[in-house]
Every structure is written in structure tokens, then in C-alpha cells.
Amino acid sequence: MPYLKCHDLNMYYRVDGTGFPVLFISGLSGGSWSWSAQIPFFAKKYRCIAFDNRGAGRTEAPPGPYSMEQMAVDTVRLLHGLEVEKTFVLGLSMGGMIAQELATLLPHRIKGLVLGCTHPGGQMQVRAKEEVYRRLVSNDGLSPKEVVEKNIPLLFRRSTQKSRPEVLDDYRKQQSEAPVQPEHAFQAQYRAILDFDFSHRLSKVGVPTLVITGSEDILVPPENSRIMAQKIPVSTLRELPETGHALHVEQPEVFNRELDAFFSEALTLILA
């Protein structure tokens, strides 16, 4: 298994395909396994780099606290270690927060930015209902399988839960392949989300950005994406109808198509 020493931790990563690099950054408790519907699609044209964040998957889980800036620096070190000079970056949820930090740390290397189902933090953030957060963090006494089932209503719209069992089965399979996250690491990642505030820096994002969200996301309300798209100078907003938080699992074909069009246009500008 490929690991890279990134300062104080060994980081697990995988690389698939060849071509212009695309960096995939996962959300809370997620990791390299989260992209089962994306990497086979994009690896046909791009060099796809996916990894496990600090505290998740096969990457080490040191004691907290963690911060979003710290996890962005971890990502910078990974790119340095893999000698990636230019890349597209895709971040979902917490991964989108890491990607925002990354955009100001490496503005010269990032040639296209995708911020999916995420928020800017701070006073600008539109929060979910409090019962949503309570359900998200209520893991005490639950097995990993029970945690997955508990989170399904937070990630998928109600009609998908009722009428598209194959989508939920794909999600369960995806999660079953993941190493169990230590509770201290979950809490450290979640605390980093609570402390995150990029709101006053959105106007400094200087790369072409696709902001994409699900219209029925109850975990990170889509109003956050609308605000971000207004504040980021060169940005495009896409709202996927009838889609919840896990938009890359619930609507993979549409999600992949939107990203493919964005990357293709950005690549044309790079090569011009």
C-alpha cells in the first residue's frame, strides 16, 4: 500500500490513471474509498489522486486537536511528495473546507477548484437544524454498521431511501471497505469543522471554481453554496435537483458529467 510521510504522520494515498492531475479530498470520516463512482470515470482521462485525511482510513490518527489549515498543509505535503506541480482539486463537505484553505495556500498550483456540498464557516454559514447535528455525532454504543445506517437519513433524500435501494447498497458497500475511524479522530475532525471560518477570505479565491450542491441537502443546506458562489470572483453554481448531501453517490452520473465539463473547459484554457 502506498504511504507518504507528511511531517508527523504517514498518509495513505492511491493514484489511478494518467494525464492532468485531479486531487480528491474527502469529507468527515471519509477517505480514498469514498470515490468509487468517480475514480473509474475520471481515471480514463486524468491522473486521479485520492487519499485518507488525517484521522481517517489508513492514514495515522494522532491525538487532536485538528484544524482545517493543518489538514490543508497535510495535503500540500502530499502534493509536494508526489511532485504535482499543477492540479484540479475536488473537495466535498469537510473536504471542501480543506480545499478552500488549499486554494489560498497553493493558488499557483490549483488550476480548477470544485467545492461540493460545503460551507464557508463563520457567521456566513447557514446551519442545519440542531437535530441533524445531534444525530451526526451520536455514535456512542453503535457498531460501525449501525453508524452507517444512522447516517443514511442525513445523506440521502427521503425518496431515495424509499425507492432506490441500489443507491443505499452502493453506499453501504463503500463504507464497509473503510477502516473503522477511532472516536477521538472523529471528534477531532468534527471540532475542526466547527472551528472553520473561511468566510472573510472567499473573495481571495483566485482560481476558476465550480460550486455544486444538492437541492435537498439537510446536512449542509444549499444556501451555503449560493453564498459562496456569490463571493468567489470566478465561480459557477450548480444545484442538482432532488439530491441530498451525498450527491456523488446519489447522482453519480450527473455529478461526474458536471465535473467533467468543468475540468474539460479549464484544461482547454491551460493548454491554449
pLDDT tens, position by position, 55-102: 999 999 999 999 999 999 999 999 999 999 999 999 999 999 999 999
Would you state the pLDDT for residue 245?
A: 98
Helices (H), 138-182: 144-155, 158-163, 165-176
Which range marks the domain in which residue 50 is found? 3-271
Summarised one tens digit per residue, pLDDT across range 237-268 is 999 999 999 999 999 999 999 999 999 999 98
Predicted confidence band of residue 41 (pLDDT cuts 50, 70, 90): very high
Instruction: Please give the torsion angle defined by the CA atoms of residues 207, 56, 196 and 199, in that order, rounded to the nearest 10 degrees.
Output: 20
Summarised one tens digit per residue, pLDDT across range 140-187 is 999 999 999 999 999 999 999 999 999 999 999 999 989 999 999 999
Task: Give the span between the Cα atoms of 188 and 65, in whole angstroms.
Answer: 5
Task: Give the span between the Cα atoms of 205 and 118, in whole angstroms.
Answer: 15
Cell of 162: 424509499
Summarised one tens digit per residue, pLDDT across range 3-36 is 998 878 999 999 999 999 999 999 999 999 999 9
Instruction: Please check the confidence at residue 115 and state whether its pLDDT lies above 90.
Output: yes
CATH number, position 18: 3.40.50.1820
Instruction: Calculate ∠ Cα 16-18-24, nearest 5°.
Output: 50
Average pLDDT over residues 114-130: 97
Q: Cell 473537495 appears where?
A: 91
Would you state the pLDDT for residue 99?
A: 98
Would you state the pLDDT for residue 269?
A: 84
Number of domains in the chain: 1
Radius of gyration of the chain (CA): 17
